Structure 1
Amino acid sequence: MYTVIGKQLTRCYRVLWALEELGQEYDLNPALPQSPDVLALNPSGKVPILVEDGEAITDSTAIITYLADKHGQLTAPAGTLARAKQDAVTHMLLDELDAVLWTAARHSFILPEDKRVPEVKDSLKWEFARSLNRLEARMQGPYLMGEDFTIADIICTHCLNWAYSAKFPLENKALLEYSKRMRSRPAFQKVAASVK
């Protein structure tokens, strides 16, 4: 059985959602970033952490990629063109959505106050909106990769939810509809119901 360390309202949500989609059992330790439980397994103090057979894996994308590959679901097979295209979309999401949201968070509440530059958030919102338009142009069907739900959809939906809570404008109608469909998935709903 897997153990997931981290609170649901962090990138840990991605891991829990993937595990639910895969039908895998897990225990959740809702430890906070920088807590002793987290620092014991990840010197950066970041969550999520997946523990399997006493081994810790960090970084939400690395974890869900591992889980998808191991269980043969939520991903195109490694070494295929379909996987290369999926990886390209995944990296675009991380570079152009997740990184922008993380930078905004850092300048809102993570960095020490004297290191924050709140004025940067306007340019980040502009950049985020531009990236959403490019993402829409890449969509190939009901899911990012066409007819199959993949880990890219988990990352994208998490970013769209994060953007909404961070008050980033979400005006792209196609992606709003997409996000609504993703959030209606039973596995997503099960994790949402567990948030305390």
Structure 2
Amino acid sequence: MLYTLFYSPGAASMAVHWMLIELEVPFETVLVDIDQSQQRNPDYLRLNPSGRVPTLVIDGAPYGESVALMLLLAERHPGSGLVPEPNSPKRAEWLQLTLYIANTLMPAMRDWLYAAKDGNPDGAAAVKALAQKRISLVWDDFEARLEDGRPYLMGNTFGVVDMLAIMLMRWSRNMPCNAIEWPRLRAYIDQVCARSSFGDLCDREGLPAWPA
């Protein structure tokens, strides 16, 4: 198996990069400098016509969409413990939570971050206000989920949903709905970010320590 990850530090590629580290599989990385608009480079667009990161080249074939890539990696590496196995009692809950993050949280994050760029700048403030409300409701849901003292969102086992959630919580660090303002989320973030794999990820991507 040969993997090449095209990534930008801290972007949507971050969770895929983290998963590759957790899987302890050999992989290569190629930096896509978004500040220099390298995602619009014709060579990159041939791999990912949407001009976004991540792109994961698997045995020579390119694929995109971070959540889809993580599900694909889980299928290619069964027994990793990062997702419940198909016959596990936790499988249905995991599918529900993964799609909740993908369909509710990730679009709201993009709306907040790119309201003026993706739509009419005149309406950006209203779009951001609605996105902030939607993000805050997800943090409320996660806060309630952690009320029973579980260490991870799925219970006692770290996995894909945690990597996705932490990536998106990090995105909120400059938002009015900063995830660290929720007390149980802050404890959860501190615990998950203490994992050696997260430290390795930040070192590889040149990211500052978070949370401060």
Is TM > 0.5 for Structure 1 vs Structure 2?
A: yes
Q: Which residue of 2 aligns with 1:149?
A: 158
1:168 to 161, 173, 177: 177
Q: Which residue of 2 aligns with 1:193?
A: 203
Q: Which residue of 1 aligns with 2:76?
A: 70
Whole-angstrom distance in 1 between the partners of 2:87 and 2:123: 42
Query: What does 1:16-95 correspond to in 2, within 5 Å?
Result: 16-31=17-32, 32-72=38-78, 73=80, 74-95=82-103
Q: Which residue of 1 aligns with 2:209?
A: none
Q: Which residue of 2 aligns with 1:124?
A: 131
Name stretches of at least 5 consecutive residues in structure 2 with no aligned partner. 33-37, 207-212
Q: Which residue of 2 aligns with 1:98?
A: 106
Whole-angstrom distance in 1 between the partners of 2:85 and 2:175: 34
Deviations 1:75-96 (A, max 9, x none): 1113544222111111111233
The answer to whether the Cα contact below 8 Å between 1:6 and 1:30 also exists between their aligned partners in 2 is yes
The answer to whether the Cα contact below 8 Å between 1:69 and 1:77 also exists between their aligned partners in 2 is no
RMSD between aligned alpha carbons? Answer: 2.0
Whole-angstrom distance in 2 between the partners of 1:9 and 1:34: 18
Q: Which residue of 1 aligns with 2:141?
A: 134
How many residues are aligned here? 195
* 37 and 29 in structure 1: CA distance in 2 versus 1, 3 angstrom threshold: farther
Distance apart, 1:25 and its partner CA: 1.7
Name stretches of at least 5 consecutive residues in structure 1 with no aligned partner. none
Pairing 1:184–2:190 present: no
1:28 aligned counterpart, secondary structure = strand
* 193 and 116 in structure 1: CA distance in 2 versus 1, 3 angstrom threshold: farther
The answer to whether the Cα contact below 8 Å between 2:39 and 2:53 also exists between their aligned partners in 1 is yes
Percent identity of paired positions between Structure 1 and Structure 2 = 25
The answer to whether the Cα contact below 8 Å between 1:3 and 1:29 also exists between their aligned partners in 2 is yes
Runs of 4 or more consecutive aligned structure 1 residues displaced over 3 Å after TM superposition = 112-116
Distance apart, 1:185 and its partner CA: 1.0
Whole-angstrom distance in 2 between the partners of 1:79 and 1:36: 43
Whole-angstrom distance in 1 between the partners of 2:25 and 2:176: 33
In the superposition, the TM-score normalised over structure 2's length comes to: 0.83
Whole-angstrom distance in 1 between the partners of 2:200 and 2:176: 25
The answer to whether the Cα contact below 8 Å between 1:38 and 1:47 also exists between their aligned partners in 2 is no
The residue type paired with residue 195 of structure 2 is R
Deviations 1:42-63 (A, max 9, x none): 2111110111111112111111
Deviations 1:116-143 (A, max 9, x none): 5123222322221122111222346211
In the superposition, the TM-score normalised over structure 1's length comes to: 0.90
* 112 and 89 in structure 1: CA distance in 2 versus 1, 3 angstrom threshold: closer
Distance apart, 1:99 and its partner CA: 1.4
The answer to whether the Cα contact below 8 Å between 1:163 and 1:169 also exists between their aligned partners in 2 is yes
